[in-house]
Chain A
């Protein structure tokens, strides 16, 4: 027995293939949109993974360091390290800023970290980790920097000694890692004009610039420019320890806010990126509905276009089941081709997106299922029309 569907496809194969490709591109867009949504959530998770922390310790009553600004003293980590159950603790700073790269600038999140401590980039794709305590940087490849490049943050030049990958802020900005002391300076140091202005203002204050107290003004001015703050302390709990218990201890006795990994994820995913994620999610839903409708219409019109042939088939006495089978097979085939083209296309163009697009296999599987179901449903519509067709139509009546 010959395959009626196969014969029909062979008959008008260019139309069939082009329809499949078109459908595929549409599915590709939908999958990509899902990937964009997943990518946003994954960016937030990547941020947490990369910090390598079990507990984030931030200023009391803030939801820092990512969702809100937080400022704590940089010696806090010492008291935390002395707590039972804490294995490692290190200060970090986060600052999203424009990093100068030659004549242009790149938007990046500058991370100040202590080498060898939590907060360090966990893996590199090229180069080495930072060895000097100043003026070296590890950059995410997305920043466009290459090994040996010089980047400028505030008034200092940093040499890129290592490259890493998938180190992004919750907003998807690539990270640049620099030593903590430099980062503190970059974050809190004012520009030279502001410093000069501040000095002049202090000097003009008669209470602070007293002729009878030499050295007072200098001491004040020195203390104004020094800043010993960081944004957060990353804490790693000793193996086998319970993060929530340690976090409770920190909240209760150290008068600081401490978030465990699930709490931080909650803050990031359901608070920080919630609106933009919902925005994308809404768009994804609409796109999925539109895609489904288009798939249904394509299959329906394809069947309608063959109405004369179907009438002929009926005229020569073909059974309804055979005709229905032909339409269903064609629809499912179209769906399969579309899905494969779509998945391939999405995978091919995903890396070119400026922000991360995460194509999850689970999403793909769900996509395949939905495409097949829609194709099947759409073909039932077409089958109904085909079965009702009057064989006389074949005569051109």
Chain B
């Protein structure tokens, strides 16, 4: 064996041994209990935070109308269809009057007959008047004659009785006339009522609007209150937004809103909080706010899903903390603060949060404190950590 060859072998073996030991050492250091937990940290800085509220909602009409009959009936004709714009007073549908027209004719005839009855009663009154006048003349004449004893007293009394009878007959005929007139009024009211009913079977548009559904077709029977057509006022479309109760702090009427329609996800539309419902949904734990558009977009459909972001008040200055750093604990919230390179759990009190994940620190941290934002494992008090710039890929 040549000494040179031996040396080379020794060197080669040594190199291999060193490689192996280094590799093994790296393995022991990088994994297992000895390895530090890699974290990213951040120094707490002052800044401003714009609180915002996010919710989802559906497009609804502030004013919608359910057009239907007030009594059960069969639909005779429907004159409007879904999507049609209608004017106030426009005939939309008709309910079959069944025998109403005939009854109307009957009351028309009764009314005419009553009018004739009034004429007859008037004539009878005139007759009674004439009779009374004659009886009066006769009675006066007989009283004169009786006073001069040309006729017997009984004859005078007979004429006086005739006068009284004629007066009574006149009164009766006057009452008759009154009655006939009343009857006329009654029948006219009757007829008018039926006319009203007849008119009520014509379903007309209460306002200018858009027909959104046609619920009954000619021939189908509808009950009172059931809709034949539904219409909305397209100018009154707004959004019924549902906001998580837990994150609805600062919600107020008049706040500006950014509305994203599901059909136009890339173009947010401006709007405003028009109303906050006084009653919130206790089952879903959401508050309900009505958000109006600044300008209602063309082709907006009722029931479309939207995302609403409300600007909840002015920017608030203070210390900011990313929410990835916040640790929820049974006793409240905390952060892992790095003191002398070791993590320590420090309780913090937090204020408003913004939608981009920043939280306002109320108490517990001072400016310049180094806190752990991301970590590759669950941290514990005092474990060794290694601060890196980011843990995975790019940190957008």
Contacts and interface: CB of A to CB of B under 8 A. Distances in A.
B331 A239 contact: yes
Interface stretch (A56-64, A118-126, A279-287): A118-126
A120 B324 contact: no
Interface stretch (A246-254, A321-329, A336-344): A336-344
Interface stretch (B75-83, B267-275, B291-299, B386-394): B386-394
A344 B393 CA distance: 25
Given A132-B355, A146-B394, A163-B392, A361 B32 contact: yes
A13 interface: yes
B330 to A, nearest CB: 4
Interface stretch (B170-178, B222-230, B363-371): B222-230
Contacts of B1: 11
A348 B30 CA distance: 11
A134 B54 contact: yes
A135 B260 CA distance: 13
A211 B353 CA distance: 51
A123 B54 contact: no
Nearest to A182: B56
Contact of A359 (B31, B326, B328, B392): B31
A239 to B, nearest CB: 6
20 contacts: A9-B13, A10-B9, A88-B330, A122-B378, A123-B375, A124-B375, A126-B390, A128-B357, A129-B357, A134-B55, A135-B56, A146-B393, A166-B377, A181-B284, A212-B223, A228-B283, A238-B330, A344-B24, A344-B27, A364-B32
Contacts, number: 130
B381 interface: no
Interface of B: 1, 6, 9-10, 12-13, 16, 20-21, 23-24, 26-27, 30-33, 54-56, 221-223, 225-227, 243-244, 247, 283-284, 307, 322-324, 326-328, 330-331, 353-357, 373-379, 390-396
B324 A162 contact: yes
Of A118, A131, A228, the most chain B CB neighbours within 10 A belong to A131
A291 interface: no
Would you list the 4 A-B pairs with minimal beta carbon distance, nearest first?
Answer: A128-B357, A133-B244, A214-B226, A87-B330
Contacts of B24: 340, 343-344
A123 B323 contact: no
Interface in A196-239: 211-212, 214, 228, 236-239
B349 to A, nearest CB: 14
Interface residues of A, number: 55
Interface residues of chain B: helix, strand, loop or mixed (majority): mixed
Interface in A118-177: 118, 120, 122-129, 131-135, 141, 146-148, 161-163, 165-166
A222 to B, nearest CB: 13
A245 to B, nearest CB: 16
A42 to B, nearest CB: 12
| Most central of A10, A117, A120, A148 by chain B CB within 10 Å | A10
Contact of B223 (A87, A88, A214, A361): A214
A347 interface: yes
A262 interface: no
B331 A10 contact: no
A347 B34 CA distance: 14
Given A125-B375, A131-B353, A131-B354, A10 B13 contact: yes
A10 B10 contact: yes
A347 B30 contact: yes
A163 B27 CA distance: 26
Given A75-B283, A340-B20, 19 more contacts: A10-B9, A88-B330, A124-B373, A125-B375, A128-B322, A128-B323, A131-B247, A133-B243, A133-B247, A135-B56, A165-B377, A238-B330, A239-B330, A340-B23, A343-B24, A344-B26, A347-B27, A347-B30, A347-B31
Interface in A298-351: 337, 340-341, 343-344, 347-348
Contacts of A364: 32
A49 interface: yes
Contacts of A344: 20, 23-24, 26-27
Given A13-B13, A128-B357, A165-B376, A133 B324 contact: no
A373 B101 CA distance: 112
A127 B395 CA distance: 7
Contacts of B21: 340
Given A133-B247, A340-B20, A347-B30, A127 B324 contact: yes
Given A9-B13, A13-B13, A163-B392, A129 B323 contact: yes
Contact of B307 (A117, A135, A161): A135
Contacts of B323: 128-129, 131
A126 B392 contact: yes
A84 interface: no
A158 B13 CA distance: 56
A83 interface: no
B333 to A, nearest CB: 8
Contacts of B223: 211-212, 214
A126 B395 contact: yes
Contacts of A228: 283
A344 B26 CA distance: 8
Contacts of B324: 124, 127-129, 162
Contacts of A239: 330-331
A126 B393 contact: yes
Contacts of A337: 20
A122 B334 CA distance: 12
A283 B224 CA distance: 76
B139 to A, nearest CB: 72
B27 A343 contact: yes
Contacts of B26: 344
Nearest to A132: B54
Nearest to B225: A214
A332 to B, nearest CB: 15
Given A13-B12, A131-B356, A147-B396, A125 B31 contact: no
A123 B374 contact: yes
Contacts of A134: 54-56, 307
